[in-house]
């Protein structure tokens, strides 16, 4: 089979830089696609962490002025797959996060930083780098949204037509900027239009990608339907509805090399579905780490951005309830300052029952999945969600709101599902104090029926959320778009 060459354009990718699920997915795609005849090269901005990780790398192209800044393209490897890094010190070499400074303020020149990412993608696809040819560009989220837009509106002269796909990992981040940036983007005047990059009087990079790409994918089938409605479409519902025949929901997978309890170096004790009792050692270690009492009640965990999307304001109001029903909560997260304080206050009110870690800690997140009894995910919307998939794989039973990818991946332990022996978690409708409280209580009462609980855990561990089917679906989509463009 001749291989399809795809340029994947992302603002983060595991193991080099991660702020959320996008990085897990961008990092896993090259290996997920390889068995299906796709050679995927990843294009990433040269943040300090990325530059440090690639070390001495070969230069393959230079720019006198990329969006006004000198830059060079370097070639390296990402877990054995090809990687191209944009080394543009004026844009990316600064301390802080990929999108914000150390204090959490958005970089004021984010439009320039991510327009540059899109521009480079379109140039590479257009043949700017000798010896590198691509059949398709796959852009992720608003940060890469300008890649399809440059391919549509401002390709390199004489460039072959290269089709593009944009994956929406989160519709809530529109990449909106003042229209004053328009001249600096280097788009033709007609791109400023209702079916172009204009979005409520501003420029939106996400919209630029959504109107320009040959196909739009999102990371679960249910979210692909939800974004056709105003509650989830964030103002793009009309556009999505209008392009419905171009919209596909392809569920994220999980990378078994990073996430399997039988071979996870982060865990005190490794285990498989036949040795669930070994989880106890992890649970005891986790209790100690969070300063929690050791008892027979359920140990709930949460690993999350502390934001409205994730329903963490609602969970913050339920810590008394968790303690009151004999449960405990270990929470790892960072985000909105008031939520961080609310969880700290809860921990102070309930010593031994509520433990809180504010920050980002990859290894701890593994220890929590390996030792917690149930993971709480009360998201108001969730394009896919990965922590419920990790929970399923680790026998840490997900308690989730019925939305997006959470609806698609968890089977609620209602009486019929329990009787049929197919339940994998607890689902509830609508994120309110009452609905989440009752879901937590329901999880606790299932936990107190050890035989039932064990079956729920095992069912989850038996689910196949590897990349197999989704890798195949992406490969089929790429092949179709390439065929269509010929
Ligand atoms: P989102 O990308 O919307 O934040 P996902 O569930 O898709 O949600 O992915 C979140 C990813 O980030 C998961 O890999 C999760 O384990 C990880 N994560 C979130 N918060 C933290 C944290 N504070 N420390 C470590 N890992 C975290
Ligand atoms: C986004 C979404 C999350 C999804 C992740 C990876 O961050 O919020 O639901 O799992 O992207 O696609």
φ, ψ at 75 (rounded to 5°): -115, 140
Test site for ligand 1: of 27, 173, 303, most ligand atoms within 8 A of the Cβ: 303
Ligand 1 atom index nearest CA of 377: 6
Ligand 1 atom at minimum distance from 310 CA: 3
**Average pLDDT for consecutive 10-residue bins of the chain (486 residues)?**
89 95 97 97 98 96 98 95 98 96 93 98 97 97 98 96 98 97 97 97 98 98 98 97 97 94 97 96 98 96 98 98 98 96 98 97 97 98 98 98 98 97 98 98 98 98 96 98 95
Q: Quote the pLDDT of residue 87.
A: 98
* Centre of ligand 2 from the C-alpha of residue 385, in Å: 5
Report the alpha-carbon distance of residue 434 to residue 412 in Å, rounded.
Answer: 18
Q: What is the pLDDT of residue 23?
A: 97
CA 10 to centroid of ligand 1, rounded, Å? 17
- Report the length, in residues, of the chain: 486
- Look at ligand 2, atom 12, and give the residue with the nearest C-alpha: 169
Q: Give me the pLDDT at residue 103, please.
A: 87
- Please give the torsion angle defined by the CA atoms of residues 379, 380, 383 and 384, in that order, rounded to the nearest 10 degrees: 20
The closest-lying atom of ligand 1 relative to the alpha carbon of residue 170 is: 3
The three-class DSSP label of residue 414 is: coil
Homologous superfamily of 4-253+467-485 in CATH?
A: Glycogen Phosphorylase B; (3.40.50.2000)
CA 385 / ligand 1 centre spacing (Å): 8
The answer to whether 37 and 1 have CB atoms below 8 angstroms apart is yes
Predicted confidence at residue 1, as pLDDT, reads 52
Task: Choose the residue to mutate in 387, 388, 390, 391 for probing ligand 1, maximizing ligand atoms within 8 Å of C-beta.
Answer: 387
What gap in Å lies between CA 349 and CA 343, rounded to an integer?
A: 10
Question: Residue 23 C-alpha to ligand 2 middle, in angstroms?
Answer: 9
- Cβ atoms of residues 486 and 161 within 8 Å: no
Instruction: Indicate which ligand has the atom closest to the C-alpha of 381.
Output: 2
Q: How far away, in angstroms, is 395 Cα from ligand 2 center?
A: 21
**Phi, psi (rounded to 5 degrees) for 228:** -85, -5
Determine which residue's CA is closest to atom 15 belonging to ligand 1.
387
**Ligand number with the minimum distance to the CA of 14:** 1
Return the closest-CA partner of residue 84 out of 5, 167, 20: 5
Ligand 2 atom nearest 382 alpha carbon:
9
- pLDDT for position 424: 98
Give the position, in ligand 1's atom list, of the atom nearest the Cα of 369: 16
Ligand 2 centre to CA of 218 (Å) is 9
What does R_g of the chain's alpha carbons equal in angstroms?
A: 23
Which atom number of ligand 1 is nearest to the Cα of residue 359?
Answer: 23
Q: Is the backbone peptide bond immediately before 15 cis, with ω within 30 degrees of 0?
A: yes
Ligand 1 atom at minimum distance from 22 CA: 2
Counting atoms of ligand 1 from 1, which one is nearest the CA of 309? Answer: 3
Q: SS3 for 471?
A: helix
Q: How far is the CA of 87 from the centre of ligand 2 (A)?
A: 27
Could you give the C-alpha distances from 367 to 348, 370, 435, in angstroms and in order? 23, 5, 28
Residue ranges around ligand 1 (CB below 6 Å): 20-22, 24, 303-305, 332-334, 360-362, 365, 384-387
Q: Whose CA is nearest to atom 11 of ligand 2?
A: 169
- Pocket probe for ligand 1: among 386, 401, 408, the residue whose CB has the most ligand atoms within 8 Å is 386
Superfamily of domain 273-462: Glycogen Phosphorylase B; (3.40.50.2000)
Q: Which atom of ligand 1 is nearest to the CA of 304?
A: 20
Strand partners, 86: 45, 73
Do the domains at 4-253+467-485 and 273-462 have one common CATH topology? Answer: yes
Tell me the C-alpha distance between 27 and 22, whole Å.
8
DSSP character at residue 17? B
Question: Which residue among 21, 22, 312, 398 has the greatest number of ligand 1 atoms within 8 angstroms of its CB, and so is best to mutate?
Answer: 21
Q: What is the signed CA dihedral for 458, 462, 463, 466, rounded to 10 degrees?
A: 130
Lining ligand 2 with CB less than 6 A are 20-22, 25, 169-170, 219, 252, 382-386, 405
Question: Among the atoms of ligand 2, which is closest to the Cα of residue 20?
Answer: 7
Of 166, 151, 22, the residue nearest 99 (C-alpha): 22
CA 360 – ligand 1 centroid, Å: 9
Per-residue confidence (pLDDT) for residue 100, from 0 to 100: 95
Q: Phi and psi of 23, rounded to 5°?
A: -65, -40
Angle (nearest 5°) at CA 471 between 465 and 472: 115
- The answer to whether the beta carbons of residues 25 and 13 sit under 8 Å apart is no
Taking the C-alpha atoms of residue 283 and residue 161, their distance in angstroms, rounded to an integer, is 55
Burial 380-389 (b: 16+ CB within 10 A, else e): bbbbbbbbbb
Q: How far does the centroid of ligand 2 lie from the alpha carbon of residue 20, in Å? A: 7
Domains of the chain, by residue range, sit at 4-253+467-485, 273-462
DSSP string, 69-128: EEEEEEEEEETTEEEEEEE-HHHH-SSS-SSB-TTSPBPTTHHHHHHHHHHHHHHHHTT-
Residue nearest atom 10 of ligand 2, based on CA coordinates: 385
Ligand 1 centroid to Cα of residue 14, in Å, is 12
């Amino acid at each position: 089979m001749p291989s399809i060459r795809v340029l994947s354009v992302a603002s983060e990718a595991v193991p080099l830089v991660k702020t959320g699920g996008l990085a897990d997915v961008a990092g896993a795609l090259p290996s997920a696609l390889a068995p299906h005849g796709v050679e995927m090269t990843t294009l990433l901005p040269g943040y300090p962490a990325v530059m440090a990780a690639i070390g001495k790398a070969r230069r393959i192209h230079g720019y006198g002025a990329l969006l006004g800044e000198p830059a060079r393209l370097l070639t390296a490897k990402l877990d054995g797959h090809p990687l191209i890094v944009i080394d543009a010190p004026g844009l990316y070499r600064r301390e802080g996060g990929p999108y914000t400074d150390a204090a959490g303020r958005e970089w004021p020149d984010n439009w320039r930083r991510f327009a540059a990412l899109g521009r480079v993608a379109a140039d590479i696809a257009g043949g700017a780098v000798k010896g590198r040819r691509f059949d398709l560009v796959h852009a992720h989220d608003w940060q890469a949204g300008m890649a399809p837009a440059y391919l549509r509106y401002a390709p390199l002269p004489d460039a072959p037509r290269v089709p593009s796909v944009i994956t929406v990992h989160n519709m809530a981040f529109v990449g909106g900027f003042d229209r004053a940036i328009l001249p600096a983007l280097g788009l033709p005047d007609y791109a400023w239009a209702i079916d172009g990059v204009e979005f409520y009087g501003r420029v939106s990079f996400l919209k630029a990608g959504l109107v320009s790409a040959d196909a739009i994918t999102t990371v679960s089938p249910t979210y692909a339907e939800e974004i056709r409605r105003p509650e989830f479409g964030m103002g793009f519902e009309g556009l999505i509805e209008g392009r419905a025949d171009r919209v596909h929901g392809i569920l994220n997978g999980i990378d078994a090399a990073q996430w399997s309890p039988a071979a996870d170096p982060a865990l005190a004790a490794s285990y498989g579905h036949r040795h669930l009792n070994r989880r106890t050692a992890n649970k005891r270690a986790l209790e100690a780490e969070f300063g929690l009492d050791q008892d027979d009640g359920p140990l709930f965990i949460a690993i999350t951005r502390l934001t409205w999307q994730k329903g963490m304001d609602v969970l913050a109001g339920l810590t008394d309830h968790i303690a009151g029903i004999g449960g405990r909560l270990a929470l790892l997260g960072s985000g909105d300052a008031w939520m961080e304080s609310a969880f700290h206050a809860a921990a102070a009110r309930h010593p031994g029952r509520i433990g809180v870690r504010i920050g980002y800690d990859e290894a701890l997140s593994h220890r929590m999945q390996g030792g917690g009894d149930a993971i709480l995910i009360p998201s108001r919307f969730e394009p896919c969600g990965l922590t419920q998939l990790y929970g399923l794989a680790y026998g840490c039973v997900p308690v989730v709101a019925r939305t997006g990818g959470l609806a698609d991946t968890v089977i609620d332990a209602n009486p019929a599902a329990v009787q049929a022996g197919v339940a994998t978690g607890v689902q509830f409708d609508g994120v309110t104090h009452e609905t989440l409280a009752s879901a937590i209580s329901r999880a606790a009462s299932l936990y107190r029926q050890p035989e039932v609980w064990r079956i729920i855990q095992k069912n989850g561990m038996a689910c196949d959320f590897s990349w197999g089917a989704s890798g195949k679906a992406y490969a089929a989509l790429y092949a179709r778009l390439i065929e269509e463009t010929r």
